[in-house]
Every structure is written in C-alpha cells, then in structure tokens.
Structure 1
Amino acid sequence: MGWQQPPIETVPPSATSAGQEAIDLAARAGLELDPWQQYVLRQGMGEKPDGSWAAFEVAVNVPRQNGKGGVIEARELWGLFIGGERLILHSAHEFKTAKNAFKRIERLIRGCPDLHKRVKAYRYTVGEESIELHSGQILRFIARSKGSGRGFTGDCNILDEDMILGDEAMDALLPTMAAVANPQIWYLGSAGIGPLSVQLGRLRRRALAAIEAGTPDPSLAYFEWSADLHLDECPQGCTAHDDAASDEAVLKANPAIGYRLTLEKVANERMTLSRDGYARERLGVGDYPSDSADTWQVIGEEAWRALAAAESAPSDPVAFAVDMTPERSHAAIAVAGEWRGGTHVEVVDHRPGTGWILDRAAALHERWRPRCWVVDAAGPAGSLIADLQERLGVEVVQPRGRDVAAACGQFFDAVSEQTLSHLDQAPLAAALAGAQRRPLGDAWAWARRIVSVDISPLVAATLAKWGLGAEVEEPEGAPNLW
C-alpha cells in the first residue's frame, strides 16, 4: 500500500473538523474515498473553536492518477449541500479540464436522488457551466485567465492543476474572497514544472519553512506526497534519501498504490519515461521557482557583497567552528580572525557527509593552534564534541542558547557596521541567501528558509566570530601559517 499520510505536511491546529461530514456525504453519492483522501479532508477542513476554518489555504501536491479529483468532489459536495457556501468557484488551467470536472460531479449528484432533487438547474452554456440549488448555492466551473473570476465573491475557490498557476490568475481570483466571512481556497495538482508553478512554489516554501521551524503555518494546510531522491554528492550506501528505481520511493509518493495504481503499472512507466519525467510525474519530484523576495531575507545581497575583499585574511588569534545540516548530509568548518580593525570570516572546508571532519580539524589545529574550537552542543554537530575534544586534546567551547543569539546579533551588527570582511565564497553566500531568522528567547538565531538550503557554512562562520571573544584558556605558540 502507498503511504496514506504525506511525507511533507503542515496543518494549523483545529478544534473540530467538517471533514467527516464531507466523507459521509461523498459515500451517499457513491464516492468511496481512499484513506489518504479522507485524511486530507479531515485535516484540511479543520475548524477553530468559533467554527471558522483553521486553514484559509489548503494545498494537495500528489502525482497524477492518485485520486485528487475525489478530494475536490467531496469538498464541493459538502460546500453545496451541507456547508451552505453561496458560491464555489472551480477553476482549471484548461477549459476541458474544468468541463470534465463539471461532468464528474454532475454524475455523482444525479446518481443520488436526495441530492438531485435539491438542484434547480444544471447549466451547460460554454464558459458558464454551473450547478445551482433551489436554496441558492452555486458551483461554477471556469478556465483560469487574467480576468476569469473577477466580479465573483466565492466562499470557496478550488484551483485545480495548481502546478500551472501564476500571479495573473491569483490576482484575479483571490480578491474575490475578501468580502467573505469564512473563505477557503484549495490548491490541487502534481509536482512543480518550473517557471509556471509560481504559486505552488510559494505554498511549498511556506510549508517547508513551517516544518523547519517546528511551528505550523497559521493559515496553510499543506500535503505533499513525494520521494526525496539521492543527490549527486550522496555517499555510497546513503540511507537518508530514496532510490528512484525502488518500490519504496513509489509507495512514498503514491498513496493510491493498492487502490487504483499498482507497482506493476508503475514499473512499466519507469521503463518508458525519461529519468526526469518519471521522477516528476510518478515520484513527485518537482521544479519550483523562487521569488527574489524570498531570498536574502536577513542580510541584503548588496550589503554582503560590498564586504568582500580578495586580500582579506585572518590574523592571530583565530577561532574555528564546526556545524552540519540536520540531515548530516553536509558539514562546514569556518575560521574567524582579526583583519584591519575588524573581523575576517572564511569557510575553510565544506563537504558532503561528516566522516572527514575530525581529520581536517586535527590538521587545522596543528597548523593554527587556534584560541578555541566552537560547536553548538544543541545543534546537529553536538554529537561530534566528545570525539573532537579527544582528537584535538582541547576543550571545545559550547555556547549556550543566549550565546548563540548573541553570536547571530554580533554577526549581523558587524555587517551593518561594515566591520566584517570575507572572500565572497559561494557556500557562505548561498547560505545567507537561503537563511531566515528563528526566534530564540527575545533574540533570534539562524534558520533555513527551506529544507534544501544548507546554512552550515553561515552558522559555522557566526560561531567562529563569536569564539574570538569567548572565555577560553589561550593556547601557546600559534604559528602564522595557513
């Protein structure tokens, strides 16, 4: 069986849910939902104590032929016949897709006499397909365009094929919900396909940021079934990522396996599709564009680049620091030292894996005899502290939470005051571009904007700079040799 709960998920807290009502109504209409479809409805239709939706936006990202249409139909049936939503707008990128959706839900309603007798009219005029109840509720189907949806005040917007959804369509549709007391918008589609997946990319980044921070997005419920495939730099035998040719990757990304899909059918796809096509269409591995506004959130790119100095180099005394990603896929060693009345920071080494760290640290320690090594015991690299101390024969400085916050503040201030220099190294720039703040008491510390960003070079550089002022026993005889 495919995974019935998604590998990537964030849901705001709720007190109750209307999801079971939608599931039961769908069953009355002859639509039996898979466990994963029921799960999405229960979670996505969660309600606050006052009865309003817990999630204003609900996004379902799942490969093709897994049954997202069933989720849409159940949500629309509830809105029409139970929720009392005056207008539900169902849009798709292409008119034929919206028309097919209209035909499917019409069949469900006509097949259930209790529901059919409540329908005033089924309208088939091209471009105005809709279902209207005697009580006034309307479900309307439209193709997305720059102007479609303008003038309609929808209680619920269903945006199908959200991997093709850009600013123009959102600018037309989203403001229609501003006057609604309890609106909700649903996005459904498959993996991102690059520049066309603008809105899906934004939703996904919000979800990953919430997961990374350990705090649900307050208005977004996001469900994604996808595999996390091996990277080029993965070591042999890596267990942190998925093999694209494995059944495990298929089961992880396709909840309908065992219901309407089989591993045998997928094996045929694997042999026929291109590698990238198979990864995207069946394993949910997408290409998501990023907004420029979503990068360089803490320190501006121009401010950082302005501090680059090719001749910059650390002088004694120096401090080293080690950090790694939570997945332990990459690690970094950074150094900080005085330079022209300010501080020089530099990434000494940044590589995949962690097995190289002790040997490299020992070589650096032998050459530089730094005043200290710094490792955040509460971070992923904390597991290295004992081995590092034994190998180097020194006490590793372990900053407390307030020290980490102070280190981040000092790094930020040094950039603002232009007392920091660096070599414009790509790992450090990439980390800054993808970093954001996370609250730490009354201050803040570095956090990754999305899971794919590696900020270990930035964290290591920040801790190394802080290490220059940490209280340590000064080592003797530090040779001025790199």
Structure 2
Amino acid sequence: MTSPNSGPSAEQPPSKSSGAEGPYGWQEPPIQVSPPSVSSAGQEAIDLAARAGLHLDPWQQHILRVGMGEKPDGSWASFEVAVNVPRQNGKGGVLEARELWGLFIGGEKLILHSAHEFKTAKAAFKRVERLIRGCPDLHKRVKTYRQTVGEEGIELHTGQILRFIARSKGSGRGFTGDCNILDEDMILGDDAMDALLPTMAAVPNPQIWYLGSAGIGAPSVVLGRLRRRALAAIEVRSADPSLSYFEWSVVPHLAECPADCAAHDDVASDEAVLKSNPGVGYRLTLEKVARERATLSPAGYARERLGVGDYPSDSADTWQVIGEDAWRALAARESAPEGEVAFAVDATPERSHAAIGVAGEWRGGTHVEVVDHRPGMGWVVERAKQLHKRWRPRCWVIDGGGPAGSLIKDLEEALSEVEQELTGNKEAVVEVVQPTVRQIGQACGSFYDAVAEQSLSHLDQAPLATALAGAQQRPLGDAWAWARRGVGTDISPLVAVTFAKHGLGVEVEETGGDILDSVW
C-alpha cells in the first residue's frame, strides 16, 4: 500500500463512547507506505487494550492493523514500523497496545522499549504498569514489576519480559529482543542503532517500531532514512518490502507558489491542523492549537504542530548516479541545438512544479537544456505553443503514466492548432510521444551513457544540477529510471531533458519546416 500527500477524509466520527468532540483530524495519514499482508494481529491488540481500559482512536487502530499485518506464513509483513506524528496526539497509546499484545498474546520473550531520556522511558513504564494493574486478568499473570532505577520492567510467570531503558551506545547490547520499541525516534542516531538492531538477528520473527515527531536536523538521521525509503516507495507507486511508514504532516506553500496553488498547505489554516493532527477531536482542539500558533515561532509551530521536519541526508545521498565533477566537466556555455530538436515535459508528483526540456545535436553529440521550469502546471500548454511555433520540433515527449500525463490531451489539441496555422493544413495533427516503460529505461540509460562517453553538453543550469544532485535510480525491469531522493527534491528538469534526448531518436511523422535561429 502506498499513499502520497493526498486526501483521506478528516471527518471520521468516533464511537459514542469515546467522548470525542469534532472536528476531527485525518484518521489516515497523508503519507503512508506498507507491504502487502494477508492477515493482521492488530485487532487482537486493539481488543486487549480495550480490556485494559485503553480505548484507541481510529487512527491508532489503523496503525496497529496495518503495522501488525502478517504474511501467509504468519510472520510480520513489516520488519520495521515507523510513526511520525506531532506531539500530544496520542502516539503513546499505539506503543502501549503493541506492548500489551507482545506480552500477553504474542508470546514475545523480550520486548525492549527505549527512549532518548530515562525519564521518558520511566514514564512509559508507569503507564503500562497502570493499565495492567487495572485489569485483574492481566495483573494475575505478572510475576514482578521491576522498579529498580534503570532496571524498570514487567516479567510474567511464563517468562515474557518488557524492559524500559534509556538509549546509549551500548544500552542495547546483550539483549535479544523479539520486538524493539524506539520512542522519540527524532533523536536516534547510528550509535544507538548499531547497538540495538543486531540484537534481533537471531530472532525468528522480529519487529522494530519507531515512534516520534518531525525531524529536528542532525539528530534525526535514522528517521530521515526511514522517511526517504517511504517517499521513494511512493515515487515508484510500490511498497517498501519491509517498512510500514505513517506520517501526519503538511507541505507548506513556497514563496514562488501562485495564489491559487492547491499542491501545498496554508500553515495558518485549520485544514493544515486537521491534516497533520489525528488527535484533534479526541485530545486536541482547534482552539488549543490556535493559542499555540499565536505563541510559538513560525518555524516552531510548523515543526511541533504541523509535522514540518528537518531531515538530514547521508553524504551518499547527493550526486548518487552521475558524479558532480563528471557533470560539471560537460558544461559548455556556447553549446546550442543544431538542426532538429525535441521537447519534453515533466512534473513533480505533487504537481507543484513542471519543466520543459529540449535536446538537439551539437558538434557530433547532444545538447540538452531546461527551457522553462516554474511552479504549477497551468502555464505549460501556452508556453509549449510558443516553443512549437518558433522551433517546429520533430516531437514532444511526455510520460503518459506520470504526473504530466494529464496535460497530453490539451497539449495535442493546442499544438495541432499551431501546426494547422503554420502549414495551412486543416488536417494536421500533432501527437505527443508517450514512451513505454521499456523506452523510459532505455532513455535513462542512453542519457547516462552520453555523460560517461562525454558526448553530451549542457549550460550548467542550476535546476538541472540540483535535480541530478538529488536523483536516485529506481529499478525498471532489467533497466532503471530516475527517482528523487525525497519530497523536497524536484527532478522534473532532469526527466524532461532525458525524455527530450530520447525524442531525437524516436520514429515520428515529419512535419517539415526550418528551425529558427533564436534563443529563449
């Protein structure tokens, strides 16, 4: 299952017994990925939590049902489950339900709950202890509640143990957990993971849960990796084979957004609050949030309440496919297309930006250039008409299955009108070339080869360099295609020039006419 930043309904009335008051926050996250499953232990966890007096919100139940999905053999579909949600929404309830299930139903021998600070781990221990003590059926199965500082935990007569610890470089060593709970994952680095994760290697059916709020920069290195994996899965409309990721957040408007931009969120609106806070209507209200908005700094409010995070990148995340030095070496300010040209259009998955690229022969190789790159998509057709009239290209190329595919019909109609005007032939038709999946892989491979063979030139334009710096490869059968590193990376200029280069070699019906010697 994959879900981009789009719109599940915010209005999902809770049960009458919940005591909730509307309006309600989104009960399914704007960003979600999960591998397929055939069954789930989530409902068992939900029912057990209710027996202990913990009545979960719909969004909390959703996480458990999906995150505890099972394969046909009964093993976990998700080795890793990550929940990224702003503070005070109730993520602790998800943890408590998962831990109760592991102790009393799942038979997990060791559940290891860690937090960045000892006081947070201890508070989590006290909450679970209260739930168990308040349910006689569960309490009688407990052998001991360990209260020693640093040794907090719950042990059953049957041997299952739930331990609570503060994270450190060596705090997880020596423990082999069936389930690791990593709370406050926005403060989770490589040292802690190096200590904790290997403890699960010998476990037959392990699972690790990460819970926290928006990234805070360098300390959020592990959360940043998880998020990039989720966004990469959304990019290719697939699922990460071992990760369930749930994020409630908004995408704020950019300075260059037009007034009618629908791809981004107004951070001052109630709609943004509902989108990023599933606990609204249960333990949060719009009135309380309005007071926060009036007091917090804009950056602090966006991070703490709207889930707008700062996620660090590993050094290997830049210029992964084509090295920066190799690309810069091909820059030629005097290069320009000679003879026939081909244009291509691409857009970001959020439709926030679009790009038009061109390719043409130059000195025995290929010149590529970003002709235009702007916010939104409403400008593309009119700009394409101008370019077609001036350059009479051999073809236009758009991936019909991509975000720009929605422009194809309008673009063909508009360009056909231009062609009819230029030729006087009322029957003239311009058809946009739509590459197949195989051809997309060939186009990306050809672009890569041209760089390696130094037969490609460009103008060293910033949008193209930025796109290459943030581009990754995604598998495409036996080939590969461009993929972006994260939601903040716009590779539409790169995809546009790649498809334009492909357009130079595809078979198209010649329309005739001369290329005008002009500049954009």
CA apart distance, 1:185: 0.4
Which AA in structure 2 matches 1:266? V
Say whether residues 1:435 and 2:471 are aligned partners: yes
Q: 1:400 aligns with which of 401, 419, 435?
A: 435
Say whether residues 1:476 and 2:504 are aligned partners: no
Q: Deviations over 1:180-210 (max 9, x none)?
A: 1111000001111111111111111111111
Asked if structure 2 preserves the Cα contact closer than 8 Å seen for 1:132 and 1:138, the reply is yes
- Output aligned runs, 1:165-314, within 5 Å: 165-314=188-337
- Output aligned runs, 1:121-136, within 5 Å: 121-136=144-159
SS of 2:218's partner is coil
Asked if structure 2 preserves the Cα contact closer than 8 Å seen for 1:315 and 1:338, the reply is yes
Q: 2:498 aligns with which of 441, 462, 467?
A: 462
CA apart distance, 1:407: 1.8
Which AA in structure 1 matches 2:224? G
Q: Deviations over 1:92-142 (max 9, x none)?
A: 001110111111111111111221222122122221111111111111111
Q: Which region of structure 1 is more displaced relative to structure 2, 174-183 or 333-342?
A: 333-342
Paired residue for 2:28? 5
Q: Deviations over 1:297-327 (max 9, x none)?
A: 3323333223223333322232222222233
Q: Deviations over 1:210-265 (max 9, x none)?
A: 11211111100111111222222211022222211111111111111111111111
Return the alpha-carbon distance in structure 2 between the equivalents of residues 268 and 201 of structure 1.
Answer: 30
SS of 1:207's partner is helix
Paired residue for 1:142? 165
Distance 1:136 1:409, change over 3 A: same
- Output aligned runs, 1:331-480, within 5 Å: 331-382=354-405, 383-384=407-408, 385-393=411-419, 395-401=430-436, 402-472=438-508, 473=510, 475-480=512-517
Which 5+ residue runs of structure 1 have no aligned equivalent? none
Paired residue for 1:82? 105
Return the alpha-carbon distance in structure 1 between the equivalents of residues 415 and 253 of structure 2.
Answer: 32
Q: Which region of structure 1 is more displaced relative to structure 2, 270-279 or 310-319?
A: 310-319
Return the alpha-carbon distance in structure 2 between the equivalents of residues 27 and 358 of structure 1.
Answer: 56
Return the alpha-carbon distance in structure 2 between the equivalents of residues 391 and 285 of structure 1.
Answer: 45
Paired residue for 1:330? 353
Asked if structure 2 preserves the Cα contact closer than 8 Å seen for 1:321 and 1:373, the reply is yes
Q: Which region of structure 1 is more displaced relative to structure 2, 337-346 or 174-183?
A: 337-346
Distance 1:373 1:161, change over 3 A: same
Return the alpha-carbon distance in structure 1 between the equivalents of residues 255 and 30 of structure 2.
Answer: 22
Say whether residues 1:158 and 2:181 are aligned partners: yes
Which AA in structure 1 matches 2:123? N
Which AA in structure 2 matches 1:480? D
CA apart distance, 1:442: 3.9
Q: Deviations over 1:61-82 (max 9, x none)?
A: 1111111111111111111111
Give the share of equivalent positions with the same residue, in percent.
78
Return the alpha-carbon distance in structure 1 between the equivalents of residues 471 and 417 of structure 2.
Answer: 32
Q: 2:43 aligns with which of 16, 20, 24?
A: 20
Return the alpha-carbon distance in structure 2 between the equivalents of residues 86 and 314 of structure 1.
Answer: 67
Asked if structure 1 preserves the Cα contact closer than 8 Å seen for 2:235 and 2:349, the reply is no
Which AA in structure 2 matches 1:431? A
CA apart distance, 1:474: 5.5
Return the alpha-carbon distance in structure 2 between the equivalents of residues 372 and 423 of structure 1.
Answer: 22
Return the alpha-carbon distance in structure 1 between the equivalents of residues 381 and 38 of structure 2.
Answer: 49
Asked if structure 2 preserves the Cα contact closer than 8 Å seen for 1:3 and 1:255, the reply is yes
Return the alpha-carbon distance in structure 2 between the equivalents of residues 392 and 219 of structure 1.
Answer: 50
Return the alpha-carbon distance in structure 1 between the equivalents of residues 417 and 309 of structure 2.
Answer: 43
CA apart distance, 1:423: 1.9
CA apart distance, 1:396: 4.2
Which AA in structure 1 matches 2:171? S
- Output aligned runs, 1:93-108, within 5 Å: 93-108=116-131
Q: Deviations over 1:254-290 (max 9, x none)?
A: 1111111111111111111111111111111111111
Paired residue for 2:8? none
Which AA in structure 1 matches 2:491? I
Distance 1:234 1:359, change over 3 A: same
CA apart distance, 1:340: 2.3
Asked if structure 1 preserves the Cα contact closer than 8 Å seen for 2:344 and 2:499, the reply is yes
SS of 1:241's partner is coil
Distance 1:298 1:118, change over 3 A: same
Which AA in structure 1 matches 2:415? Q
Return the alpha-carbon distance in structure 1 between the equivalents of residues 151 and 35 of structure 2.
Answer: 35
Distance 1:49 1:166, change over 3 A: same
Q: 2:82 aligns with which of 42, 45, 59?
A: 59
Which AA in structure 2 matches 1:295? T
TM-score computed with the length of structure 2 as normaliser: 0.88
Return the alpha-carbon distance in structure 1 between the equivalents of residues 396 and 37 of structure 2.
Answer: 45
SS of 1:460's partner is helix
The number of residue pairs the alignment matches comes to 482
Return the alpha-carbon distance in structure 2 between the equivalents of residues 475 and 406 of structure 1.
Answer: 27
Return the alpha-carbon distance in structure 1 between the equivalents of residues 399 and 146 of structure 2.
Answer: 64
CA apart distance, 1:371: 3.4
Return the alpha-carbon distance in structure 2 between the equivalents of residues 377 and 129 of structure 1.
Answer: 57
Distance 1:323 1:392, change over 3 A: farther
Q: Which region of structure 1 is more displaced relative to structure 2, 273-282 or 309-318?
A: 309-318
Asked if structure 2 preserves the Cα contact closer than 8 Å seen for 1:358 and 1:391, the reply is no
Asked if structure 2 preserves the Cα contact closer than 8 Å seen for 1:388 and 1:396, the reply is no
Asked if structure 2 preserves the Cα contact closer than 8 Å seen for 1:316 and 1:480, the reply is no
TM-score computed with the length of structure 1 as normaliser: 0.95
RMSD: 1.8
Return the alpha-carbon distance in structure 2 between the equivalents of residues 61 and 399 of structure 1.
Answer: 38
Return the alpha-carbon distance in structure 1 between the equivalents of residues 108 and 295 of structure 2.
Answer: 44
Which AA in structure 2 matches 1:475? G
Asked if structure 2 preserves the Cα contact closer than 8 Å seen for 1:314 and 1:337, the reply is yes
Q: Which region of structure 1 is more displaced relative to structure 2, 147-156 or 461-470?
A: 461-470
Which 5+ residue runs of structure 2 have no aligned equivalent? 1-23, 420-428
Which AA in structure 2 matches 1:395? V
